[in-house]
Amino acid sequence: MFELVKSPLASEKHVAVECIDVWREFQDGPRVIKVLQGTNLKVDRGEFVAVVGASGSGKTTLLNLIGGLDQPTSGTILVDGLDITDLDDEKMSEVRRHKIGVLFQDQHLLPIFTALENVEVPMLLDDIPEKDRRDRAIKLLEMVSVDHRSQHMPHELSGGMRSRVALARALANDPAILLCDEPTGDLDHKTGGEVIQLMRDLAKKKNLAVLAATHDPETARMADKILLLRDGVLVDELIGDFFKHSKVDVTTRKHNQGTGDRAST
Ligand SMILES: Nc1ncnc2c1ncn2[C@@H]1O[C@H](COP(=O)(O)OP(=O)(O)OP(=O)(O)O)[C@@H](O)[C@H]1O
Ligand SMILES: [Mg+2]
């Protein structure tokens, strides 16, 4: 494994993700689609951040870039202090394995493995002895309160439990960052809220930066910080607490009802 050397650009050691003037353009025939147009952001370890914005505003594109699944047209992305912008595939997959956990809505558990085995999967590539791997997977399932179902197959679990197992799996290699794309999209309101609360608690407990792209105002309300993507740029950083009692739909920043809220100005 190559050494995960920190970049000299790393400004502060508690910054988990930093995007500096990140552009991402896609070629669509003769047309250039400019999705991200100079995005700058910083997310600290321990922070739970919601990324909001209209459909097509670039939320998934941004998460894919931070997760190393795509490369920016220009700009710099630092993950836990390491510049990932020009890493080759081999190095990038090392970074993904050790620094980044992902929890995407369509990322299903492997159906032929138990809950426990699913959590063990990311550890298989590392040289972890079987017993340690199993003990660690059990601890992770305890952390997400699904240890009593460790021997069950995914289809024997509820949607909420499957999300929790996927969360445990995403944290298997103790990442610095957890990237979530519509993490509660398939869940009912109450179960989704519980999963978000759990992610929020884990962010604090494990000193993890969580970035969650969402259309759900309730998820955004629970975040420490809300990043709003509009016309290719992050136009605002809004503190979650500010919205706790607000009538503003934070995913569009339009009032549902009422007046006089600072967020609409
Ligand atoms: N590989 C690609 N090639 C061409 N265009 C792309 C590609 N990936 C994304 N886009 C375009 O980039 C824009 C942003 O897409 P993205 O999926 O990031 O939006 P989003 O904010 O996640 O939307 P949603 O809320 O619907 O998930 C869209 O116009 C999309 O069509
Ligand atoms: Mg998306």
According to the model, what pLDDT value does residue 14 have? 86
Q: Is the CB of 33 under 6 A from ligand 1?
A: yes
| Cβ(116)–Cβ(134) below 8 Å | yes
Of 158, 9, 162, 152, the C-alpha closest to 81 is 9
According to the model, what pLDDT value does residue 212 have? 94
Collect the ranges in the chain with pLDDT lower than 50.
1-2, 4-12, 256-265
Q: Which atom of ligand 1 is nearest to the CA of 58?
A: 18
What does the alpha-carbon distance between residue 163 and residue 93 come to, in Å, rounded to a whole number?
24
Distance 57 CA to ligand 1 centre (A): 7
Of 212, 211, 215, the C-alpha closest to 252 is 215
Length of the chain measured in residues: 265
Q: Which atom of ligand 1 is nearest to the CA of 28?
A: 4
According to the model, what pLDDT value does residue 250 have? 56
Q: Which two tokens stand for residue 5?
A: 């050397």
Domains and CATH numbers, the chain: 15-260 (3.40.50.300)
What does the alpha-carbon distance between residue 210 and residue 63 come to, in Å, rounded to a whole number?
11
Q: End-to-end CA distance of the chain: give it in Å, rounded.
A: 50
Question: Ligand 1 atom 19: the closest Cα is on which residue?
Answer: 56
Give the distance, in angstroms, between the CA of residue 71 and the centroid of all CA atoms in the same chain: 17
| Cβ(172)–Cβ(204) below 8 Å | no
Note residues around ion ligand 2 (Cβ under 5 angstroms): 59-60
According to the model, what pLDDT value does residue 10 have? 40
**pTM (2 d.p.):** 0.86
| Cβ(213)–Cβ(51) below 8 Å | yes
Q: Of the bound ligands, which one is closest to the alpha carbon of residue 57? A: 1
Q: Which atom of ligand 1 is nearest to the CA of 24?
A: 12
Q: Which two tokens stand for residue 251?
A: 């995913």
